[in-house]
């Protein structure tokens, strides 16, 4: 098989839209191209993936490798796609089975040794993966956060080799059970603020997009109440 398709997730605010990681091997001079609106850290996956595959004692194919992250109009950031890209290359080159790839979603940044590093947004990704009916394979350090979703099977892994052994049926990854918080701390909530709909909306948008926010001046009066400036 010279084509492999895997599933992963991007982050867009509080959403985690599905991303199809399509890996194609073709003849010609050896090259490694990633398309689909990748940001710089995604493009750098070429070097991380190559080293991780070689250090895992796999053969890195000397062929024309094209990785497409679809949909093409959705920006892709961070190293979360490293694991899916590496597995796609191994599946397309016949080094790991590709018949069960559609049962899983993958996320994880690879070190040069093949170890998996944690990723952001594990909870949001797991919520959407569970709704799609797929198990989620991700780094062990991100698994506890993902398990809080309680919507599907979380399979933590420490390395690319562990994931390959799982897909090959030799050493299965053990699911992580959903955990409950030990305590429920009480935090201030925006629902306790009366009125100020515009200010609350601005806070929500800033928090979702990780933007800075500066508020200046007195708040507007609540409906039905007069506002008196200080000293009057």
- Of the chain, the percentage scoring pLDDT greater than 90 comes to 69
Cα(190)–Cα(210) distance, integer angstroms: 17
206-215 pLDDT tens trace: 888 888 888 8
What's the pLDDT at 17? 95
The larger pLDDT score, comparing residue 137 to residue 216, is at 137
The structural domain count of the chain equals 2
- Cβ burial, residue 69 (10 Å; 0-12/13-18/19+): buried
> What mean pLDDT is reported for the chain?
89
**pLDDT over 50 at 182, yes or no:** no
One domain, residues 161 and 195: no
The boundaries of the domain holding residue 41 are 3-167
What's the pLDDT at 232? 42
Q: Indicate the pLDDT class of residue 72, thresholds 50, 70 and 90.
A: very high
One domain, residues 125 and 215: no
One domain, residues 89 and 135: yes
One domain, residues 100 and 204: no
69 neighbors 37 (Cβ within 8 angstroms): yes
116-126 pLDDT tens trace: 999 999 999 99
One domain, residues 106 and 21: yes
One domain, residues 98 and 200: no
Residues 6+ apart with CB under 8 A from 26: 2, 63, 64, 66
In a domain, 207, yes or no: yes
Mean pLDDT over 144-173 rounds to 94
In a domain, 232, yes or no: no
Q: Indicate the pLDDT class of residue 228, thresholds 50, 70 and 90.
A: very low
One domain, residues 57 and 137: yes
Q: What is the CATH number of the domain that holds 65?
A: 3.30.230.10
In a domain, 68, yes or no: yes
Q: Indicate the pLDDT class of residue 178, thresholds 50, 70 and 90.
A: low
One domain, residues 199 and 161: no
Of 42, 105, 110, nearest to 76 by C-alpha is 42
In a domain, 198, yes or no: yes
Q: Indicate the pLDDT class of residue 146, thresholds 50, 70 and 90.
A: very high
13-49 pLDDT tens trace: 778 999 999 999 999 999 999 999 999 999 999 999 9
In a domain, 177, yes or no: no
In a domain, 180, yes or no: no
One domain, residues 196 and 133: no
**pLDDT over 60 at 180, yes or no:** no
In a domain, 160, yes or no: yes
One domain, residues 76 and 152: yes
Q: Indicate the pLDDT class of residue 194, thresholds 50, 70 and 90.
A: confident
Mean pLDDT over 68-75 rounds to 95
One domain, residues 38 and 79: yes
Which ranges of the chain would DSSP assign to H, the alpha helix? 40-43, 45-55, 82-92, 122-131, 140-147, 160-167, 197-209
One domain, residues 119 and 198: no
In a domain, 230, yes or no: no
Give per-residue burial for 72-97: e unless 16+ CB within 10 Å, then b: eeeebbbbbbbbbbbbbbbbbbebbe
């Amino acid at each position: 098989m010279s084509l492999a398709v895997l599933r992963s997730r991007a982050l867009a605010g509080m959403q985690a839209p599905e991303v199809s990681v399509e890996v194609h091997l073709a003849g010609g001079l050896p090259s490694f191209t990633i398309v689909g609106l990748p940001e710089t850290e995604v493009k750098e996956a070429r070097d991380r993936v190559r080293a991780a595959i070689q250090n895992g004692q796999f053969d890195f194919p000397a062929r024309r490798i094209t990785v497409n992250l679809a949909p093409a109009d959705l920006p892709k950031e961070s190293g979360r796609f490293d694991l899916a890209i590496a597995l796609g290359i191994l599946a397309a080159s016949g080094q790991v089975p590709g018949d069960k790839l559609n049962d899983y979603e993958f996320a994880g940044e690879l070190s040069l040794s093949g170890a998996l590093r944690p990723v952001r947004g594990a909870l949001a990704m797991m919520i959407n993966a569970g709704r799609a009916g797929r198990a989620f394979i991700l780094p062990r350090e991100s698994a506890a956060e993902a398990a809080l979703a309680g919507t599907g099977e979380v399979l933590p892994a420490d390395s690319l080799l562990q994931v390959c052994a799982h897909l090959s049926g030799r050493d299965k990854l053990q699911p992580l059970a959903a955990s409950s918080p030990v305590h429920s701390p009480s935090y201030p909530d925006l629902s306790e603020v009366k009125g100020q709909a515009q200010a609350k909306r601005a806070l929500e948008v800033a928090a979702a997009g990780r933007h800075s926010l500066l508020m200046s001046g007195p708040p507007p009066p609540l409906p039905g109440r007069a506002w008196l400036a200080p000293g009057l």
